[in-house]
Amino acid sequence: NVTVRTIPAGSLDNELTISGHHSQSQEVSVSTSTITVRPHAEDNGVMYTCEAIHTALSAPLRHSLTLSVLYPPGPPEISGYTEGETVRMGDTLTLVCKSIGGNPLAQLVWYKNDEEVDFSFTTTANKQSANSHTFVVDASDNNAVYRCVASSTITQTPMVSEIKLQVHFAPAKVYINGTKEAKAGDNVTMTCRTERSNPPSELSWVVDGRPVTATNTIVADPLGGWVSSANVTVMVTSQDRNMKMLSCYAINQALGETIVETSVLSILYAPDPPNIFGYTEGNSIRAGALQRLTCVCNGGNPLCTLKWFKGDTEVTQATQVTTNGNVVSNEIAIITKDSDNGAQYRCEASNSATPDPLVATVQLTVHFPPSGVYIKMSPKQPKSGSQVELVCETGSSNPESVVTWWRDGFLLNGHQDGIIDGLYGGKTTRNILRLNVTSDDDGAVLTCQDAPEFLTSPLTQFDVIEGQSSLINLTARGNPSTIQYKWSRQPDTGAADGTTGAPIDSVRIQTDGPILNISQALRSDSGVYKLFAQNELGFSETAIKVNVHYSAQILKVSELVLVDEWSNAYLECSVDANPTTDTTIQWRRKVRNESDSSV
């Protein structure tokens, strides 16, 4: 006979039932033992052994099995933070979630405000699950709910444990809102506002270095924390020049941090009335001459803007604006024309403080020759022994033209028939010559004369490359055709009264009648050159601009600039070149062990 017994481990007697029976046939004897278990969580991992004992065996026969009992894990528990505790922004916080027991062990996932942030849980010897979530605390963690969710395949509903953080953080930025400009007599209100902080920040104002009392207003932010704001009202007086400095300090005592924001209030005031220099009213200028007019405006905040007008038309070409301290000037270069006679040039100065522009005007007097002379003969086909009337009429000129008659080189006396108003404030002259003609007068040439005229437009620019030569020809035409020429160089400051300027006396720069010959040009040769042409009747003048091109030369460059990290660095490079373009100066950064890189 075989004795069969079952050896249990870890179960309570009242939850374990063991039964057995014995059967025998002619050849075989069978013994059976049955065990019935009502498992609990404690039975998970318990080993059960079935043992058969027989007299023929030297040792019992055994077979064992381990019972795996499925049961839910324990609820999650959070450590690392106590509800109501305060942490600071920038601190490193580790939250640990644990769940003990369970088969299978729980899966632990961290959520921040319903957003999954960490699912990297670990298990220990089939006894517990753990998930450690480490992060740097920021402002978004204030009032954030961190939730640990424990789930298992045998639990229908996950188990949850959660905490709510309290974070102290300073405002990320302070803003100053309000007008940027004001005039004397204005009351200006500025508002200082913080971004959210916890606890709320206390605001204080400092105006031009002096503390100013202000009332703080604190409101809750929907995202958590508090927003502080404070207003300050200042009166702008006439003693306030250019600007007022307003600073807002956001102080967070709990964190020991202070954030400052500064705003500059620009004080607007009108400039002094403009003045025009370079020409005295009543002085005459020859047509075609270069005339410079300079408008100067002093003071004002912001500095004034100067505009030139001829009549009602703004002059935008050939202007040069310069600023020196609080003085602004705008110079225009005019090649005078017939239409400039009696023309009013107006300079307007304005800025944000001038309701209407401040104005200065000047009226030019321009001497210009007639555009031509015209002869009419009556009758058109005279007969020998009759009288012929020749009428010579000039175009408009200022002053009026003097008409002379010539026949075969001899001066004839005509009769002035009248002077009438012409174009551009000039005068038209009419002169009559009456002759008793004979057959000897057939084919006779009679001439009505005017002054010479240049073929080249005034202030034409001639470009010359430094070191090279150039020949400039400014031939004039006139009647009589015998014309005398005289070259001069205009001073750098300009000749406002039509003076001839300095004579040309150089080995490299030579003149021959209407020809200007520049050899081996230097950059100092740049400038305005005048040419006067004269015949028996009168004279005219013109001007050209010689522009010498030369290669770039660095005059000054910043060698060492020390700045704090994240601050602006200002580098200066000064170059002498002609011409200059947007690509004349290029910055490159020297990268260590690499080629240069453009900036």
**410-412, strands of its sheet edge to edge:** 410-412, 405-407, 446-448
> Does 238 score more than 90 pLDDT?
no
Which of the four pLDDT bands, split at 50, 70 and 90, describes residue 276? very high
For the chain, give the longest Cα–Cα distance: 187
> Does 498 score more than 70 pLDDT?
no
* Model pLDDT, residue 480: 67
CATH architecture of 373-448: Sandwich (2.60)
What proportion of the chain, given as a percentage, has pLDDT over 90?
A: 37
In SS3 terms, 82-115 reads as CCCCEEECCCEEEEEEEEECCECCCEEEEEECCE
Written as six digits, the tokens of 325 are 């301290």
Q: How many residues does the chain have?
A: 599
- The DSSP bridge partners found for residue 323 are 328
Which stretch, 49-53, 90-94, 100-104, 595-599, has highest mean pLDDT? 90-94
What is the C-alpha separation between 151 and 119, in angstroms, rounded? 12
* Mean of pLDDT over the chain: 85
Give mean pLDDT, residues 491-518. 68
> Does 22 score more than 80 pLDDT?
no
Written as six digits, the tokens of 270 are 């009108």
Dump pLDDT digits (tens) for 425-435.
999 989 898 88
Integer CA distances (angstroms), 241 to 265, 266, 270, 308, 357, in order: 11, 9, 11, 28, 21
What is the SS3 assignment for 139?
A: helix
* Model pLDDT, residue 134: 96
* Model pLDDT, residue 592: 59
Class for the domain spanning 77-168? mainly beta
* Model pLDDT, residue 471: 84
Domain boundaries, the chain: 2-66, 77-168, 174-268, 281-367, 373-448, 552-598
Distance of CA 27 to the CA centre of its chain: 109
- pTM of the predicted model as reported, rounded to 2 decimal places: 0.52
CATH domain 281-367 topology: Immunoglobulin-like (2.60.40)
Dump pLDDT digits (tens) for 445-469.
777 765 555 556 666 788 999 988 8
> Does 13 score more than 50 pLDDT?
no
Rounded (5°) CA angle 561-565-567: 70
Contacts 24+ apart (CB under 8 A), 63-70: 67/37, 67/39, 67/43, 68/44, 68/103, 69/39, 69/40, 69/41, 69/43, 69/44, 69/45, 69/103, 70/103, 70/104, 70/154
What is the SS3 assignment for 597?
A: strand
CATH domain 174-268 topology: Immunoglobulin-like (2.60.40)
- Fold match, 77-168 / 281-367: yes
- Cis bond leading into 222, ω under 30°? no
The letter for the amino acid at 93 is L
Question: Which residues lie closer than 8 Å to 261 by C-beta, 6 or more apart?
Answer: 173, 174, 175, 176, 192, 247, 248, 250
What proportion of the chain, given as a percentage, has pLDDT over 70?
A: 89
